[in-house]
Amino acid sequence: MINEIRNKAKELLEKKRVECVIGYERATDGLTARPAFIYDPSEVDRLIFDETCVHNLSRFLIDKKHKATAIVAKPCDSRGINLLLNESQLKRENLFIIGVVCSGVKKVRFNQIEDSLQNKCQYCPQHVPSVYDFLVGEPVTETASRNYAEVTAIEDMTSADRKLFWAEHFDRCIRCYGCRQVCMGCYCYECFVDELDPLWAGIRIASSENRMWNTMRAFHLAGRCISCGECERVCPVNIPLMLLNRKLEKDTVHLFDFEPGINAETTPPFATFKKGEDLGISK
C-alpha cells in the first residue's frame, strides 16, 4: 500500500505534474504521524500511511491554491477537498488526489497510540474517498448508515439540563481557536471573532463569550462541516465539538437533504432556496 503511494508521488514529482506532495511522515517520536510536504522525488520514502495518520490534510491545500499539488486523502479528507472545490476555493486541475481506502484511524493521546478508533471513525459510513485520481487499496462496498444516537441523547434532555451540559463544557474553553485553525472550512481572511468593531466575542474570560464563540463557530460550518473531527481532536480541553457539528449535520440532512462533501456540484443549502419548500414554519 505504502509503496503505491510512494511510487505515485515519485512519478508525479519526476514528471513535474505537481510541485509538492502533501502526505504523512513519521514524527520524531517514532510513533505518531505528522504532515509531510515532499518537493523532491528522492524524498518520497519519507511518506507513510497507517492508522496513526489522523490529520486532515485538505486544510493545507488552501495555501497552495494556485500551485499544482498532490495530496494523500482519506475519505474524510476527500470530503474536505470536495467542500473546497464546491466553494471555489480550489481548482480541480491543480489537484492530484491520491485516495486511500481507510478503515479508520486510531486515537492518539499524549503521543501514545490507543487501541480504539477515533470517535469520528466510529460513526463514519465511508471507506472509499468521494473524489480521487488514483486509488490505493481495495475498494469496499459501503454498508454502514449514518447514526446520530449521541445527538438524539442530548436532544432528549430537558432544556435546563442541556444548558448545564454545554455550560460545563464551554466554561473550559480557553479560546485558543485551535478548532478554527485546523478546520479546512474556516478559511475566512478575517474571522468574526477577530473583528474589533463590532466586537462579536469579547476577550474577557467569561462563559458567555466562550458560548458565543462556540455557537457561531459551529453555525458558520452548518451545512459545510464534513465531520472529519479535527476540531475535537485538537481541542486541548476536550470539548465535544462534534456534538455541535453533528447536530447541524443531522438537521441539514433532514431539512435540505444535503450532505456536504459527497460531491462538488450540489449547491450548498445556504446558497440556494426552493420557493415552495415547507420547512415546518410556513403559514
Partner 1 sequence: MALDYEPKIVGFLCNWCSYAGADLAGTSRTTYPANVRIIRVPCSGRVDPLFVVKAFQLGADGVLISGCHVGDCHYNEGNFHTRRRFVLLRPFLDYLGTEKERFRLEWVSASEGKKFSQLVSEFTETLKRIGPRKT
What is the distance between the alpha carbons of residues 36 and 18, in angstroms, rounded to a whole number? Answer: 15
Beta carbon nearer to partner 1, 64 or 180:
180
Stretch that binds partner 1, among 21-29, 56-64, 80-88, 273-281 (CB under 8 A): 273-281
> Binding partner 1 by CB under 8 A: which of 66, 88, 159, 189?
159
| H-run or E-run covering 233 | helix 230-234
**Separation CA 81–CA 263 (nearest Å):** 9
Cβ-based nearer residue to partner 1, 110 or 189 = 189
Does the footprint of partner 1 cover residue 204 (CB under 8 A)? no
* Residue with smaller CB distance to partner 1, 165 or 187: 165
Beta carbons within 8 Å of 266's beta carbon, 6+ residues apart: 86, 258
Q: State the pairing for strand pair 106-109/69-73.
A: unpaired
The half-sphere exposure of 179 on its side-chain side, counting CA atoms within 13 A, is 28
- Report, in Å, the least distance between residue 2 CB and partner 1: 42
Identify the residue among 16, 110, 196, 280 touching partner 1 (CB under 8 A): 280
Question: By CB under 8 A, how many residues form the interface with partner 1?
Answer: 39
Yes or no: say if 137 and 100 are a contact pair by the CB < 8 Å rule: yes
Crossing angle of helices 207-220 and 159-172, in 10° steps, is: 100
Closer Cβ to partner 1, 28 or 159, answer by number: 159
Task: Output the smallest distance, CB 195 to partner 1, in A.
Answer: 10
Of 48, 243, 248, 34, residue with least CA distance to 149: 243
Q: Which residues 212-271 are close enough to bind partner 1 by CB under 8 A?
A: 212, 215-216, 218-219, 222-223, 244, 247-248, 251-252, 255-256, 269-270
Nearest to 72 by CA among 27, 116, 124, 137: 137
Question: Smallest distance from the beta carbon of 55 to partner 1, in angstroms?
Answer: 28
The residues, any chain, with a CB within 8 Å of residue 183's CB and separated by 6 or more, are: 59, 221, 230, 231
Rounded least distance, CB 68 to partner 1, Å: 37
Work out which of 164, 176, 188, 237 binds partner 1, going by CB under 8 A.
Answer: 164
Residues that bind partner 1 (CB under 8 A): 154-155, 159-160, 162-167, 192, 200, 207-209, 211-212, 215-216, 218-219, 222-223, 244, 247-248, 251-252, 255-256, 269-270, 273, 275, 279-283
